[in-house]
Structures are given as C-alpha cells and as structure tokens.
C-alpha cells in the first residue's frame, strides 16, 4: 500500500507541478523550496462523488471548499455568519427579499473578474440542474414565486416565494458555490476531468476518482506565505491500519476516521503526531423501511430501537470518540433539545414492544446495508445482530459500495429495498432544515427520505418551521423540537450517535481545524509548516 501510494503520488505531482492542470489557473509552474512540498491528506473513502459544484452532495465538500467560495460562511464560534464573497447583506421585514453587496476584488481562476451576474448565473445553474443540494433553493424557484437577479454591478437581490434564511443558504457547502461564466455550460463530466472555475485559494490539478491534487491559485487575493502548502494531495486509503502506518512513517501528514485500536496507538506516538478533536454536526442514522412489513409497524420499530447497543458502540467500539444522539438535531446547533426521547439498549423493553407489535418472528430475517470502509458500522451492527437474535430476529449485514447501496434504496418495489440503511449525514448548511426537509419530509422529490415516510402531521410541522425560521426563530425552534418528538416517538429513524472527528496530524504542521457546517473539509490555506 505504501509503495503504491508513493508511485501514484509521484506521478500526479509530476503532472501537477509541471503545469497549471485543467483548471485554467494563471499561476504558472510551481517554484522550488516550499512550493514543491506537498500536504498529504489520506482519507477512508473517495474524496468526491463528482466535482461539479452544482451537483456534488457528498464527500466532495472537502475538495470544493478549497476551490470554490460562497457568499457567506458559517462561524461555529458565534453561531452566526461571516462575510466571504459578500461584504454585507440585509433582508426585508418578512424575510422574503435579501440584498447582498459583493466584494469588488475577486477574480476567478480563469482570470475573469467576479461581478453580480456571475453569482446569479451560478445559483441559477444549481436550480436548473435540480440535483444534489439544489432543494435548498426551493423558495427562490420561479415556480414558487422567487427569483435571483443582479441589481447592481456588485449587488445581488434574491426574492423568495416564502420567508427563507437566504443568508444561511448562501453559506451552504452544496449548490451555493460561485463559478465563472466560462464553466456555466459545462457538463458534470468536464468538472470530473479535473477542471474548475472557482475563486478559492486552490485549483484542481488532477482528479482520478480516488484522489485529487490541488495546486495553489497564485493570484488568490489573500496572497501566499512561504510556510503555506501550495500543493495538496487528498487520497483514498480505505484501511485504517494502512493509514496508521502512513502517519507513523510520515508519508502522510493528515488523516482521520481510524479504528479505536489504531487511534490509541497513534495517540501514544507523541514524538511523531498529535491529535485534534472537533465537534461536528454529523450523525449516524439508521433508516427503517416503513413502506413494508414488518418495519411499517410502529411498535416493531420501537422494539428495534430498544435493541440497538448505543452505549457499547460509543464506549467500546468508538472508544469515546462519539456521543449518543439525543434527537435528530445534533448538539451545538439551534433546534437541539435534550428533552427528546433518547432510546437506550434495553432488551426487556424491546421484547415488550415486539410482543405488542404482534409480528411473528418465526423465520424473520431483516437486512441492513452500510458502506464499505466503515469498520465501526460493521462492529456496531454485529453487536446489534447478537441482540436481535435474542429477540428471535435474524439480521443480515451487507457491506456495499455507495452506488450499490443507493441503487437498492431507490428500487421501485419497496419489498426489494433494504429493511435498514445506515449512513452518515451532515447538514447542507447550519439549519435543522437540512435534516427535516432532506430526510424526513414526504415530498417525492426529496430523495433522501430513506424511511419512505408519509406523515402529514410531520410534514406540516416541518413546513411551518421553515417559514418561521427568519421571522420567528423561537417558534421555528419549537416546531423542530416537536418534529423530533414525532420522529422519536414513532421510531421512524434510529439516531445512533453523533460523531466527533479526531484528526491525527504530523508534528510538523499546524492550523488544522474543521467547521462543523462543512464536514470533513479542511481549509488547507490555513495549514502551515511549523
């Protein structure tokens, strides 16, 4: 593994350092000394699904946050927003009209100058494509009475069909990136070839599916210092043990998502590495297929909820690098409430609800799918398997590539879908709506409704919360608390645990930090050599 990685890296960096790559950067070839040094970030899964800034809806945020920029950026210290491409903004009294003033010193990687019209065209592209995180623009769609327009050379006005937190939406890690007009008409395949049209500090020099090489945009408005890294490689290395070895030898300088055993071993090597743990808005969710029996039975779902080994998962498998979820909204984000029903492993209660459900467990077999490369999921599900067996339920564990798992979840026949679906979720922007509109609303176009819910009461509460977020935040928060109670009481989904990210970092670098609103994304521009 180590040799293979080195050969791949050498080939990619030879290419990236020889020229600007496909991004259209004006930076020229890399210089000697510090410019030739590479920050190696190894990760447990592929760093992107697509590099199209309008449609990417997964891990690609770790790349896109370094290549593209948004109008605002979430500040976890204040819980508010900082200016980025916008300098200031204001809304009308009912939160339906938002006006943004833009910076006048921003250039794209192709050398063109950013004005309001490029911002408008970028947002319209996301809306028109309607993929990934595009749902965030629902209130701005013309069909809903909204619009986005350039009202000055450096002024953008967004009109909503209903009150909407646009200042938060334009901070989103998905579907809110600003790009050059030169790339607006390009297909997704063009971006995946390693091209880009951003304003961020890095351009994409090479993309190969399981790796990305980033190169400094030399004309970035913030400038560059000698101790910054002008070349970054993000590489998939699925095995925790392999990533551990690479950190131990110094081949890689940054990694995360280790098994508890490997993490403990690395923590002991203080002469080589140090750790940084960040709070996240990430939670691990188990969706239950409510469209078919037996998971259509509420009491059966409650039985499943009481059988999961929450405490063992957090304390033993994750070694404390997580915390048990309370409700759907993670702690640290508005809408979280500690009063939400929190399930604990209690097989007596599970048996009680199983009996109440009337479900015959003779020969009953359930399937659960989860992504390859997530060893902690497998370990937790194995414990769950043992618990369910005590209830007379057989559980089949299926580790899959994401595309396979997703294809099964989208099967037109509900009976051919998995009974349970485990995956990680983080918000598109720092608002509970990212869970409730994306995962728990019954609208057909919300493709991540993987419990296949159709609950009019829940839908109504969510819709009310969305409309009140801008004009009456307290009322919106109360709605989201009510929505969480509905979800928990009915066991529509199982909130397994909230993730804590522990990064292992080479002693020779500093400045690694993670913003919870942009999961897994490290701003490499802030990372420096000590």
pLDDT one-digit tens code per residue, 196-238: 999 999 999 999 989 999 999 999 999 999 999 999 999 999 9
**Phi, psi (deg, nearest 5) at residue 320:** 80, 0
Domain architecture of the chain: domains with CATH: 1-53+188-270+509-530 (3.40.190.10), 69-178 (3.90.76.10), 279-500 (3.10.105.10)
In the numeric block, the tokens 């200031």 are attached to 88
Residue 178: per-residue pLDDT: 98
Both tokens of 56, joined, read: 């990417």
Question: 157 has which bridge partners?
Answer: 99, 149
Report which of 458, 463, 484 is spatially closest to residue 330, judged by C-alpha positions: 484
- Helices 347-357, 298-307: inter-axial angle, 10-degree rounding: 160
Structure token digits, residue 379: 């370990």
Quote the pLDDT of residue 447.
Answer: 65
Q: How far apart are CA 234 and CA 230, in angstroms?
A: 13
The 3-state secondary structure of 3-56, one letter per residue: HHHHHHHHHHHHHHHHCCHHHCCCCCCCCCHHHHCEEEEEECCCCCCCCCCCCC
Residue 448 gets the label, from left (phi > 0), alpha (psi -120 to 50) or beta, of alpha
- Distance separating alpha carbons of residues 286 and 318, to the nearest angstrom: 17
Q: Please give the DSSP secondary-structure letter assigned to residue 397.
A: E
Pick the closest to residue 247 from 516, 5, 421, 413 (CA basis).
Answer: 5
- At 319 the pLDDT is 82
* Helix (H) or strand (E) segment spanning residue 156: strand 155-159
- Strand duo 231-236 + 38-43: pairing: parallel
Contact 251, 495 (CB under 8 A): no
R_g of the chain computed on alpha carbons: 23
pLDDT of residue 443: 73
Give the integer Cα–Cα distance in Å for 182 and 109: 10
Closest CA to 44 of 284, 214, 259, 232: 259
Give me the residues of the chain with pLDDT under 50, please.
Answer: 1-36, 445
Q: What is the pLDDT of residue 3?
A: 32
DSSP 8-state code for residue 472: -
Beta bridge partners, 467, equal: none
What CA dihedral angle connects 351, 357, 359 and 361, to 10 degrees?
Answer: -10
SS3 assignment, position 212: strand
Give the mean pLDDT of the chain.
Answer: 90
Which residues does 398 contact at the CB level (< 8 Å), separation at least 6? Answer: 367, 368, 369, 370, 418
């Amino acid at each position: 593994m180590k040799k293979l990685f080195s050969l791949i890296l050498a080939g990619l960096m030879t290419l990236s350092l020889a020229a600007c790559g496909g991004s259209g950067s004006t930076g020229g070839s890399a210089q000697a000394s510090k410019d030739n040094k590479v920050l190696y970030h190894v990760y447990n899964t592929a760093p992107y699904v697509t590099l199209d800034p309008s449609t990417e809806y997964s891990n690609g945020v770790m790349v896109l946050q370094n290549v593209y920029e948004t109008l605002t950026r979430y500040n976890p210290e204040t819980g508010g927003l900082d200016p980025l491409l916008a300098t200031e903004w204001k809304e009308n009294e009912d939160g339906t009209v938002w006006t943004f003033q833009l910076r006048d010193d921003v250039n794209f990687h192709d050398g063109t100058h950013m004005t309001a019209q490029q911002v408008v065209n970028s947002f319209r592209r996301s809306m028109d494509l309607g993929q990934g995180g595009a749902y965030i623009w629902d209130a701005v769609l013309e069909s809903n009475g909204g619009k986005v327009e350039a009202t000055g050379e450096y002024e953008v006005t967004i009109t909503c069909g209903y009150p909407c937190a646009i200042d938060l939406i334009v901070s989103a890690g998905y579907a809110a990136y600003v790009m050059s007009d030169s790339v607006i008409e390009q297909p997704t395949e063009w971006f995946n070839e390693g091209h880009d049209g951003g304003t961020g500090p890095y351009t994409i020099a090479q993309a190969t599916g399981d790796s990305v090489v980033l190169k400094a945009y030399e004309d970035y408005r913030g400038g560059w210092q000698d101790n910054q890294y002008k070349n970054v490689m993000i590489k998939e290395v699925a095995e925790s043990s392999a990533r551990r070895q690479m950190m131990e030898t110094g081949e890689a300088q940054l990694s995360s998502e280790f098994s508890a055993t490997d993490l403990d071993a690395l923590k002991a090597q203080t002469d080589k590495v140090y750790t940084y743990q960040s709070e996240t808005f990430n939670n691990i969710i188990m969706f239950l297929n409510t469209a078919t029996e037996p998971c259509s039975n509420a009491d059966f779902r409650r039985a499943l909820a009481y059988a999961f080994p929450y405490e063992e998962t957090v304390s033993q498998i994750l070694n404390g690098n997580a915390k048990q979820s309370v409700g759907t909204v993670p702690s640290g984000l508005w809408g979280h409430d500690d009063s939400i029903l929190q399930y604990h492993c209690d097989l007596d209660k599970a048996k009680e609800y199983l009996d109440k459900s009337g479900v015959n467990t003779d020969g009953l077999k359930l399937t659960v799918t989860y992504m390859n490369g997530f060893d902690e999921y497998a370990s937790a599900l194995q414990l769950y398997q043992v618990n369910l067996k005590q209830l007379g339920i057989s559980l089949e564990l299926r580790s899959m590539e994401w595309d396979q798992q997703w294809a099964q979840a989208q099967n037109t026949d509900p009976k051919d879908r998995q009974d349970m679906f485990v995956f990680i979720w983080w918000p598109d922007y720092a608002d509970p709506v990212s869970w409730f509109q994306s995962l728990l609303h019954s609208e057909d176009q919300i493709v991540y409704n993987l419990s296949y819910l159709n609950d009019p009461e829940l839908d109504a509460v969510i819709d009310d919360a969305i409309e009140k977020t801008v004009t009456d935040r307290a009322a919106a928060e109360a709605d989201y608390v009510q929505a969480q109670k509905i979800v928990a009481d009915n066991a529509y989904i199982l909130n397994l645990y909230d993730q804590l990210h522990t990064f292992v970092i080479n002693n020779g670098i500093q400045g690694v930090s993670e913003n919870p609103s942009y999961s897994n994304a490290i701003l490499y521009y802030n990372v420096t050599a000590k």
